[in-house]
A and B are shown apart, each in its own frame.
Chain A
Amino acid sequence: MTTPAWEATPARARWAATPAATAREEAPEWGTAPAEALGPLGVPLVDLLDRVLATGVVITGDLVIAIAEVPLVRLSLHALLSSVNERVRAPWTDSGPL
């Protein structure tokens, strides 16, 4: 469990101040009617790429094979490594920064 010392740290304050703190209270409303709610503008890019790139391929396009490798995407988009690179281990399987 968290210690009193941790409660008082700047890191703790930053953690508490992240947008998710608000989200803890109430899930962000993405809309209520499915028709309009399916397309929120400003969908976080990383969540979107999780879905448009990393989901299973049900079909093989003539060119999708070449693109499915996306190694160049990996190289140029460091920030998206974790959502694209299958070889990156999940942060919780190693002794990460936590």
Chain B
Amino acid sequence: MTEIPALTYAFAVCRGGGLTVPPEPLAELPGLGTGAPVRTVAAGPLIAVVQDVPAAGYGEEALRRRLSDGAELERCARAHHSVITAASALAPAVPLPLATVYLDDGRVREALGERETSFLTALDRIAGRVEWGVKVYAPAGPPPAPEAAPAAAPGDGPGSGRAYLDRVRTRRHDREQRHTLALRAAERVDTVVRGLAVAARRLRPHGVEVTGKHRTHVLNAAYLLDLGRERELRAALASLRHDETDVQIELSGPWAPYSFADGGVTDARATP
């Protein structure tokens, strides 16, 4: 048998007792599609969910190229996500970032050993909890000034320049006012959802390339909630949508607790 040089790609870390070995639901997953089974590597009280990947395809340079290609990045991200999701369904799992690759299983064990305490802490924090994403958008389109047509009429004379400036000022004022209102609405949304969460985290709002020109992303937040609180969350958002008519509120999830793997900011205001 020819030995093809392999690296160990790590998806997630669980508590050793949390997963049966071999974890059959995991072994059936395609993972990154390398043909190798998704398996586990035990290290003390921890267990890593891993897959062998060919060194030729997942070495540093190859990985760089791979992740520079949009379609391939998406494929890898979705593959990564599907393994993490499957692991999370079996046991509390700390998701690792995309493209966490080790030279071999021994290096995985070393890495887990070095961070054993922080992994155990993270696992305690996320057990029985899921992440929800809440995004708030404001409309971006400036309303066209209704007086634009009359002002452009001929014979308006020297007044037209001033009228133009007035219109610009008014438009800017309206825009700033809507922006402020949207930010305040986003803060109110955040405050309400934080009240239900054990931890919260602000992610970077998306730019216009993602949202489209017609709306602006004013809040991109992740919340860690106890499993039983989905109904409350949905009810709170329904109420917020009713009250905050100037913004759009989107919910995504439940996610594996990606945003809380490294100790997301525990909020003092959160209810236990």
Contact = CB atoms under 8 A, between A and B. Distances in A.
B179 A76 contact: no
Q: DSSP majority for the A interface?
A: helix
A28 B262 CA distance: 28
A98 B182 contact: yes
A27 B251 contact: yes
Contacts of A77: 70, 73
Given A6-B143, A18-B212, A45-B78, 19 more contacts: A11-B143, A11-B214, A18-B214, A26-B238, A39-B82, A45-B77, A47-B133, A51-B222, A55-B95, A55-B261, A56-B264, A58-B94, A66-B64, A67-B63, A67-B101, A77-B73, A90-B204, A97-B208, A97-B213
Q: DSSP majority for the B interface?
A: mixed
Contacts, number: 254
A91 B89 CA distance: 35
B207 A82 contact: yes
A25 B245 CA distance: 11
B111 A59 contact: yes
B203 A54 contact: yes
A59 B96 contact: yes
Given A43-B81, A51-B259, A83 B213 contact: no
B114 to A, nearest CB: 9
